[in-house]
């Protein structure tokens, strides 16, 4: 597997994603040399406490995104409820109220696609468990731009549809169990 260090790490998850993200964020080294951006499908009608829940188990700061926020090394940034999170340029994030994608806002595809448009081959996209096909188009965009896509092995995922759909639509640079994925992430220094 190609072990080049990305300029941005983007992660998407849905059903079963909280427990998967606890493990993934716990595996990210404190010295991760790039910002990490995460979309987790969350209900749009109430505040999310996901950043507060996951911050204690991460060596990196975990926070919810704000519009026009700078991309920050040493930080994991989550999309807030009812907003798509986009990589606006090499320095900042934008929040969008564009239409839901596959009934989700935030959705994974807009994050992955915008990261690919801005950072090209310097993107590492990770798609975890989920019960929709959100993320498939985004994985395709990342791979077409020369970036890397690591998918959670569908048989290892709590909900297999999301990684299975992306694998069928776009392929992957690696298909890993959650344990294998966490070991690989520890090497991103």
Q: Does residue 2 carry a catalytic annotation?
A: no
Q: Are strands 123-127 and 8-13 parallel, antiparallel or unpaired?
A: parallel
Altogether, the residues listed in the chain come to a count of 189
Out of 14, 48, 104, 136, the active site residue is 14
- Structure tokens given for 148: 């890397």
Give the DSSP H or E segment for 185.
helix 178-185
Q: Does residue 134 carry a catalytic annotation?
A: yes
Out of 41, 58, 132, 136, the active site residue is 41
Out of 84, 122, 133, 134, the active site residue is 134
Burial label for 74, CB within 10 Å (0-12, 13-18, 19+), is: middle
Q: Does residue 84 carry a catalytic annotation?
A: no
Using CA atoms, how far apart are residues 22 and 20, in angstroms rounded to an integer? 5
Just list the catalytic residues: 14, 41, 134
């Amino acid at each position: 597997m190609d072990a080049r260090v990305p300029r941005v790490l983007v992660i998407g998850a849905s059903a079963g994603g909280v427990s998967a993200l606890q493990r993934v964020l716990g595996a990210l080294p404190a010295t991760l040399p790039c910002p990490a951006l995460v979309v987790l499908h969350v209900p749009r009608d109430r505040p999310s406490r996901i950043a507060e829940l996951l911050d204690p188990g991460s060596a990196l700061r975990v926070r919810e995104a704000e519009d026009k926020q700078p991309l920050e090394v040493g930080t994991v940034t989550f999309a807030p409820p009812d907003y798509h999170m986009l990589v606006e340029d090499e320095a900042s994030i934008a929040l969008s109220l564009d239409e839901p994608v596959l009934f989700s806002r935030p959705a994974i595809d807009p994050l992955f696609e915008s990261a690919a448009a801005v950072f090209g081959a310097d993107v590492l996209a990770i798609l975890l468990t989920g019960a929709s096909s959100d993320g498939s188009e985004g994985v395709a965009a990342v791979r077409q731009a020369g970036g890397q896509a690591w998918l959670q092995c569908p048989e290892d995922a709590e909900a297999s549809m999301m990684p299975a759909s992306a694998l069928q639509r776009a392929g992957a640079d690696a298909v890993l169990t959650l344990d294998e994925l966490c070991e690989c992430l520890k090497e991103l220094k």
